[in-house]
Every structure is written in structure tokens, then in C-alpha cells.
């Protein structure tokens, strides 16, 4: 019961609107610093750091719910997106901390980097697994220590874990930090995981000196005159989430032993084949075979034309949106704990809060009639807002939107929490029946007729 209470209180704090960093005092509704010894804060501290619950089992249950719900279940057209994100931390005693590159800040600083794998399609996205990366100095033998793993090794293991869990997807996608690494692509290929990876324009050196050959050179070698005479290029229509479309151009290029029918294809996609503008030109490596090519018959994966390769990489950017939301809205980097267990538990709970919003969005529509607040018996117990079949929540007919989903959650969670905290600040006794019934109704998401006598 204590663990269930801690789980509910922690998630409620993560989901509530942010007025300051979501430290333990914030999650418990206590004052900063002076409220650190408050019983509710200490209870959450114990729940996060000392309690005996298993964060991996909690995450497995979260994924089970996502994978079995028809609204969120992965399908073969989705994409596994791999990335890592760093957050600055001042402490030197915290697990996984070290001086390393923090992509969000664009510099090397003291912080924690977490490798994340996300499932996404054109409309939906959610994290599957997150594992903090531990720099070599945390291990007795440094990089030669058996327990040390690079970010590439962690990412490949997460992709294998997702596949073993039955997550359906078309390919694994990642940015050039992973795509440029031959060893990473080999790990995916050895496991039978198809990929579409971004490359740096200057990736590789296929010759020496003035004859150095890179993806940019390969792209410029393709023939192009104008849209009516595209030469080697093929028009690709990209449809964005807001409904607008753009015409891009894509082509299979040749770079060393990479080519249209090689084990790895080099695909270039751009808005302007004549100038290859850096901000709107992608250089992609994929092992998906070309339709009609000699590898199609022998490949275990369906062939992918240029439009499909561009579509897969376009979905990759959802993970950046996911990072922004869990950090700005759910307090991903606001924890003030030091142990490895507590850090992993916090990240698991943030992912639970993120997924809870999708569960709210796709819930079936409730009875639209206003609910009268009944007179409850004195023995009634507060209805928590976390039961999967409990709260009836508004069904949305527009495209899935996580920002709208969390606003819908906060619309009933904020008053529910306010009523609870106001009464607890006033008295340690149970609320009177009328107030308890109001709290229950708000927690269940029922609309109230404020003009009806109780």
C-alpha cells in the first residue's frame, strides 16, 4: 500500500503544472529547502531511494499496457528511434555523472547522459527504454572493465530488447552520432535489425588527399537539370503532421562499395538537388533493399523505395519532441538523488507519466451528462486517479496530440490535488462526506453541475 501511495503521489507531482523544478519538495507540495524534512517529502525520498520495488518490472508493465492497447500498439510501419540526451548536473557523487558531451547544451560539461529508444509513427510516439550511460571513470578498470558499456553498445542492446519484446517496426533510425559508426551498423545487421541512419556530409574517406570522396561528392555526382528533367533524382512528397506537404528529391548514390544494389545503400534527400542546402539535405545509410534490385529476393525485409526511406528518417525527429516534453513538462532532469537505483526509478516514473497522458487521450468517452455530487458515507475512501478503468476521460476525435493530452490530465488532476492538499493543510481528520464525494467526483473526471444543491 505504501508503494502504491508513493507511486500515485510521485506521478501526480510529475503531471501537475510546473511552477518550479520538480524536486521532491515540489512533488510533495512542500516549500523548497525548509520543507525538505516534511513527512510527505521524506516519504517520497524513501519511495524513490530505499523502497524495494523494481523499476524494470514497472516499465515492463507500462510497455505491456501500451503494446496491448489497440490505440497505442506498435505496427510494422512504425520506427524504432535511438538517441541519447544529456543534462547538466553539478554533483560529483551522483551515479553516472561525468564530464561529457551534452547535446542539449551543445558543449562538454558535467552531467548525465541517457540512451533512449522510442517507438514512433507519423502520429504517435512514446519511449520504450532508457538507460543511463556511465563514463569509464566510474569503473575500477576504466574502459577495459567488464561492466563498462559504450553508448553504442547500450543502444544496440535496447534495440534487441525491443525486438525480443515483440515491438513491431519497419527499421531502426538514428542521427549521425550513431549512423557514422560502422561498428554500430554492424551490430544491428548481425541481429537482423534493418536500419536507416543519418550520416555526416563528410562521412568517411574513400580516397586520399584531393581525391577524398564523401557523401557530398557522391550527391554532386548525380545528374540534375530541373524539375522537368530530374535526371537521377526522384520527386518525393512529404506530408507533415499539420497536413501541409513539401516536394523533396531523393536519389540512390554511389560511394565506394555503397550503392543502389550494395549491402548498404547511400540515399540522398534534399529540397534542392542543384545546391544541396545543408539544413534541408539528408545523407542516409540503409540496408533495406531497393525494389527490383538483386538483393530483394534474398532479403528478409520488404524492399524500400526512396519515398519509404525518406519517410522512415522523417519519423526520427519525434524523439527530439519527446525529449522536449519530458524535460520541460515532466521534470526529467530535476531529480536530486544520487544512487543509480533512484536515478533509474525517476526516469521510469517520468516515462510512466508520459504514457499515462496517451492513455488518457485514447480513453473511451464518458457519459456526457453532468454528474451530481452525492452525499457519501463517512467511511468512503478517496478514489485515486490512476486506475486504468477508473477515471472516465474525454475521447479526442482530432489527431493524437501529447500537449493536449497533458492539458486534459491537468484539467482534472490540478483541482483534485488542490482539494486534497487544502484539506490536509487544515486537518488530519478524514474530509467530511460532502467534500470527500466532491474529491472522488473530480478525481474520476466527472463534470459537475455547480448549480444543483447537494
Tell me, what DSSP letter sits at residue 47?
H
Closest-CA residue to 268 (of 255, 283, 258): 283
Per the document, the length of the chain is 454
The single residue listed with the C-alpha cell 444543483 is: 452
User: Cα–chain-centroid distance for residue 107?
Assistant: 22
Sign of CA dihedral 135, 335, 40, 416: negative
Q: How far apart are CA 158 and CA 218, in angstroms?
A: 33
C-alpha atoms less than 13 angstroms from C-alpha of 279 in its C-beta half-sphere = 0
End-to-end CA separation in angstroms for the chain: 32
Q: Quick check: 376 and 433 in contact, CB under 8 A?
A: yes
Using DSSP's 3-state secondary structure scheme, residue 207 falls into coil
Q: Quick check: 313 and 266 in contact, CB under 8 A?
A: no
Q: How far apart are CA 339 and CA 96, in angstroms?
A: 9
What the block records as the C-alpha cell of 444 is 474520476
Residue 451: which residues within 8 A CB-CB, separation 6 or more? none
Go through the domains of the chain in sequence order and give each one's CATH number. Answer: 1-42 (no CATH), 55-328 (3.90.350), 366-454 (no CATH)
Tell me, what DSSP letter sits at residue 11?
H
Q: How far apart are CA 290 and CA 281, in angstroms?
A: 21
Tell me, what DSSP letter sits at residue 255?
B
User: Cα–chain-centroid distance for residue 137?
Assistant: 28
Q: How far apart are CA 106 and CA 44, in angstroms?
A: 33
Ordered DSSP codes for 324-381 = HHHHHTT-TT-----SHHHHHHHHHHHHHHHHHHHHHHTSPP---SPBP-----TT--
pLDDT of residue 447: 53
Q: What does pTM read for this prediction?
A: 0.84
Q: How far apart are CA 116 and CA 137, in angstroms?
A: 22
What the block records as the C-alpha cell of 12 is 501526480
Q: How far apart are CA 113 and CA 119, in angstroms?
A: 20
Q: Quick check: 202 and 174 in contact, CB under 8 A?
A: no
**Crossing angle (nearest 10°) for helices 39-49 and 2-15:** 100
- Which region holds residue 29: left if phi is over 0, alpha if psi is between -120 and 50, else beta? left
Closest-CA residue to 116 (of 351, 311, 278, 303): 351
Per-residue pLDDT for the chain (454 aa), expressed as one digit of tens each? 678 888 888 888 899 887 777 777 777 766 676 667 777 778 888 898 889 999 999 999 999 999 999 999 999 999 999 999 998 888 788 899 999 988 777 888 999 999 999 999 998 999 999 999 999 999 999 999 999 999 999 999 999 999 999 999 999 999 999 999 999 999 999 999 999 999 999 876 555 555 568 899 999 999 999 999 999 999 999 988 777 899 999 999 998 889 999 999 999 999 999 999 999 999 999 999 999 999 999 899 999 999 999 999 999 988 888 888 888 899 898 888 889 999 999 999 999 999 999 998 888 555 444 444 444 333 333 334 333 333 334 444 577 889 999 998 888 888 877 777 777 777 878 888 887 887 777 766 555 555 555 4
Residue 412: which residues within 8 A CB-CB, separation 6 or more? 385, 391, 393, 442, 443, 445
Using DSSP's 3-state secondary structure scheme, residue 301 falls into coil
Amino acid at each position: 500500500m505504501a508503494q502504491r501511495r508513493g507511486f500515485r503521489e510521485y506521478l501526480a507531482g510529475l503531471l501537475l503544472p510546473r511552477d518550479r523544478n520538480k524536486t521532491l519538495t515540489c512533488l510533495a507540495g512542500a516549500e523548497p529547502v525548509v520543507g525538505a524534512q516534511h513527512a510527505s517529502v521524506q516519504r517520497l525520498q524513501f519511495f524513490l531511494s530505499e523502497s524495494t520495488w523494481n523499476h524494470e518490472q514497472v516499465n515492463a508493465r507500462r510497455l505491456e499496457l501500451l503494446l496491448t492497447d489497440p490505440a497505442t500498439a506498435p505496427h510494422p510501419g512504425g520506427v524504432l528511434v535511438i538517441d541519447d540526451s544529456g543534462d547538466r548536473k553539478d554533483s560529483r557523487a551522483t551515479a553516472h555523472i561525468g564530464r561529457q558531451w551534452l547535446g542539449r547544451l551543445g558543449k562538454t560539461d558535467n552531467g548525465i547522459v541517457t540512451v533512449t529508444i522510442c517507438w514512433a509513427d507519423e502520429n504517435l510516439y512514446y519511449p520504450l527504454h532508457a538507460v543511463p550511460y556511465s563514463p569509464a571513470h566510474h569503473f575500477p578498470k576504466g574502459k577495459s572493465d567488464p561492466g563498462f558499456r559504450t553508448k553504442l553498445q547500450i543502444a544496440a542492446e535496447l534495440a534487441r530488447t525491443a525486438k525480443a519484446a515483440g515491438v513491431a517496426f519497419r527499421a531502426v533510425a538514428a542521427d549521425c552520432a550513431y549512423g557514422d559508426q560502422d561498428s554500430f551498423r554492424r551490430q544491428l545487421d548481425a541481429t537482423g535489425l534493418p536500419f536507416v541512419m543519418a550520416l555526416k556530409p563528410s562521412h568517411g574517406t574513400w580516397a586520399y588527399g584531393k581525391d577524398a570522396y564523401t557523401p557530398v561528392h557522391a550527391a554532386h555526382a548525380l545528374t540534375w537539370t530541373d524539375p522537368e528533367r530530374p535526371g537521377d533524382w526522384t520527386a518525393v512528397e512529404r506530408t507533415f503532421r499539420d497536413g501541409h506537404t513539401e516536394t523533396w528529391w531523393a536519389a540512390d548514390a554511389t560511394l565506394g562499395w555503397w550503392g543502389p544494389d550494395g549491402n548498404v545503400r547511400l540515399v540522398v534527400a534534399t529540397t534542392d538537388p542543384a545546391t544541396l542546402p545543408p539544413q534541408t539535405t539528408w545523407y542516409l545509410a540503409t540496408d533495406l533493399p531497393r525494389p527490383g534490385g538483386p538483393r530483394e529476393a534474398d532479403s528478409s525485409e520488404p524492399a524500400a523505395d526512396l519515398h519509404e526511406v525518406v519517410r522512415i528518417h522523417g519519423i526520427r525527429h519525434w524523439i527530439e519532441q519527446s525529449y522536449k516534453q519530458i524535460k520541460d513538462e515532466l521534470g526529467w532532469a530535476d531529480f536530486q538523488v544520487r544512487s543509480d537505483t533512484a536515478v533509474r526509478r525517476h526516469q521510469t516514473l517520468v516515462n510512466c507519466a508520459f504514457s499515462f497522458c496517451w492513455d488518457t487521450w485514447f480513453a473511451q468517452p464518458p457519459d456526457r451528462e453532468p454528474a451530481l455530487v452525492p452525499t457519501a458515507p463517512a467511511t468512503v475512501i478517496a478514489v485515486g486517479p490512476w486506475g486504468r478503468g477508473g477515471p472516465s476521460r474525454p475521447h479526442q476525435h482530432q489527431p493524437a496530440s501529447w500537449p493536449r493530452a497533458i492539458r486534459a490530465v491537468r484539467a482534472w488532476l490540478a483541482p483534485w490535488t488542490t482539494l486534497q492538499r487544502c484539506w490536509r493543510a487544515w486537518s488530519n481528520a478524514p474530509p467530511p462526506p460532502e467534500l470527500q464525494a466532491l474529491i472522488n467526483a473530480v478525481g474520476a473526471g466527472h463534470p459537475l453541475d455547480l448549480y444543483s444543491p447537494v
